């Protein structure tokens, strides 16, 4: 088992990661009858994409003995209706300093785009990723 999820009422869940015991709350968003006092499940999907991209770049950067500390991902979720779903995820990857060669940039960008979450998202969901070096 990866996680346990408990419905707490009022459109809120408490998720517990089994291995670490870390907890995360979710709330339904304002535009779907919720209070938006925590990440919504769809927020977690887009956030997982940005986190996965940074993590995979971090692995590759460590292999190349370069430091990505301070790198940020800004994620934006675009929703569609009928049926309600994520239609687009926008990711802006920002690097604290432009100290990378063109070859390193290409390697890191390809690593990010090949992350497991990116490859798990349905192909109908547009993934727009911009790298700001």
For the entire predicted model, the pTM comes to: 0.94
Concatenated DSSP letters for 46-110?
HHHHHHHHHHHHHHHHHHTT---TT-EEEEEEEEETTTTEEEEEEEEEE-SS----HHHHHHHHH
Share of the chain above pLDDT 70, in %: 100
Partner residues linked to 24 by β-bridges? 15
Find the helix or strand (DSSP H, E) in which 13 lies: strand 12-17
pLDDT tens digits along 44-99: 999 999 999 999 999 999 999 999 999 999 999 999 999 999 999 999 999 998 78
104 closest CA partner among 60, 74, 59: 60
As a CATH number, domain 41-132 is: 3.30.300.20
Task: DSSP letter for 130, please.
Answer: E
Tokens for 64? 């190349």
Token pair 């990723």 is found at 129
Residue 41 has a pLDDT of 97
Residue 99 has a pLDDT of 86
| Residue spans per domain, the chain | 3-32, 41-132
Residue 97 has a pLDDT of 83
118 has a pLDDT exceeding 80:
yes
């Amino acid at each position: 088992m990866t996680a346990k999820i408990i419905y707490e009422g009022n459109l809120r869940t408490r998720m517990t990661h089994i291995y670490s015991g870390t907890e995360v709350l979710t709330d339904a968003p304002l535009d779907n009858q919720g209070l938006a006092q925590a990440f919504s499940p769809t927020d977690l999907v887009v956030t997982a994409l940005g986190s996965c991209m940074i993590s995979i770049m971090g692995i590759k950067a460590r292999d190349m003995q370069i430091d990505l500390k301070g790198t940020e991902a800004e994620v934006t979720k675009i929703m569609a209706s009928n049926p309600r779903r994520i239609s687009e995820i926008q990711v802006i990857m920002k690097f604290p300093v432009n100290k990378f060669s063109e070859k390193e940039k290409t390697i890191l960008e390809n690593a990010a785009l090949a992350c497991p979450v990116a490859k798990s998202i349905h192909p109908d969901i547009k993934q727009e990723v911009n790298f700001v070096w």
